[in-house]
Amino acid sequence: MTKNMKRKGVDTIKEAIPALFSIEAEKALLGLMLTNPELVFDQIRERLTVEDFYIPAHRILYEAISELHAKNIAIDLTTVHQYLVDHHLDEKIGGAALLADLVASFATHLNLESYIKILKEKSILRRLHSAALTIVQNIYENSHSVSQVLDQAEKQIFEITDLAVSRSTVKASVEIQKAIELIDCFHKRKGRLFGIPTGFHHLDQITTGWQNGDMIVLAARPGVGKTALGLTFACRALKERYDQTRDLWIKPGYSVGFFSLEMTAVQIMLRLLAAIGSESLQKIRRGELEPASLEKLKMLADDAKEWPFYIDDSSDLTIHQLRAKARRMKNQFGVDLIIIDYLQLLHSDSQQAKENRQVEISEISRGIKALAKELNIPIIVLAQLNRRMEEGRSEPALHHLRESGAIEQDADVVILLHRLESDSVTDMTKIPYLIHVAKQRNGPTDKIEVLFNAPYTRFEDPLRHEIEQSYV
């Protein structure tokens, strides 16, 4: 077999394949990394490597941006250009002209998934192209050994296939060992709370606390108290955390991330200070606090500066933006629990979702559940119940979840909050409520009566002998 014949086979493959790279997609992604790093960086970094870029200048730029991010240096046109100059890379990418061109592009973060998909597919095609050339070369050089050619071809193709699929299959022997370790951990705790405490004794008994990877839906009618209960859960988590090594509850507590799509961060902190400080929120707003109460809140505020509590009050978020922000919150602050207020204020980017609200809610719900598994932390998401149930006085049920049955399907725990109507209630500062654990994938369901302390906008557990009055 002559060299010319070998070369002809290779050229035939080259001519048959489609384009192996997309300059436009590469520019779009790099442009977004320069202009909207907080929205796109985590998703791009998670899905792509430098080898997925084809243009050498783009590879250099991608590595430069990644290096800046790793050092927690702000990413923009100036910082990236300075990095390139300092490392003598500016001329290799074509100077500031390339950066200016990328920043001026019309790429939008709404199409991020499409850009990533294009780049990944082109990258896989290039690897297939290279493997095909090697396979053809092996055929000509080792035609006497079919088994050897097949073995090498299979190995190369499998390596590429492995890149194209997510690794989700695990060996049972590995997971069974993890299960035994978990059982040992349960045994050492001897029935004590294993997850993040909820703040309610009976609820802790039912759930054993909020569990990692779980999506917990807290649903109620508008204005019933979803945010107040969500903040009550946050308060309890912030109070203290269990140290397994010392077998003690220690301070500070669990790190909590709170996404407030409806209220500002300042409004959230006002509610939190009123609840933890046992001061009337209305008096705080009216400026009617006694000097001693005002001084107490100021002291509490000094302590609050050390709370591992992180608030994002961005409004009109898409599920992709929320996921990116949550990943960043987890990576930067190590949050143990995320609370989202609330689900129906989120949006999806897909065209199909824009045409059908139920489809949109389904995509959002699946996205939150996937995020809980990915970050391996509990995520509590507040949700509205359908207004049709307001026509009667009956307790809410799972089918009242607004706009989509997918919420019920995706959730590991569904809690329905309901205000009890009672003629015997004389103290209107302590209003009876019902927490109904209507679904729990890994445990029982039940109903729990709690009290809502209206002046302090907090929920309290009537079974506890003492209501925690402060964080300290």
Write out the two tokens for 131.
Answer: 């493997």
CB atoms within 10 A of CB 464: 11
Gyration radius (Cα) of the chain, Å: 28
Active site includes 262?
yes
Residue in 113, 121, 240, 262 annotated catalytic? 262
Q: Under a CB-based contact definition with an 8 Å cutoff, are residues 217 and 441 in contact?
A: no
Upper half-sphere CA count for residue 354 (Cβ side, 13 Å): 5
CB atoms within 10 A of CB 310: 16
List Cα–Cα distances, 169 to 165, 203, 412, in angstroms.
11, 34, 22
Upper half-sphere CA count for residue 225 (Cβ side, 13 Å): 26
List Cα–Cα distances, 348 to 11, 189, 196, 352, 407, in angstroms.
45, 42, 30, 9, 15
Positive/negative CA dihedral, 235, 240, 244, 247: negative
By residue count, the chain amounts to 472
CA separation for the pair 55, 98 (Å, rounded) = 12
Q: Under a CB-based contact definition with an 8 Å cutoff, are residues 57 and 92 in contact?
A: yes
Q: Dmax of the chain from CA atoms?
A: 101
Taking Cα atoms as reference points, which of 391, 382, 266, 370 lies closest to residue 327? 370
Q: Under a CB-based contact definition with an 8 Å cutoff, are residues 268 and 231 in contact?
A: yes
Residue 360's SS3 state is helix
- The end-to-end CA distance of the chain, in Å, is 84
Residue 189's SS3 state is helix
Active-site annotation, residues: 262
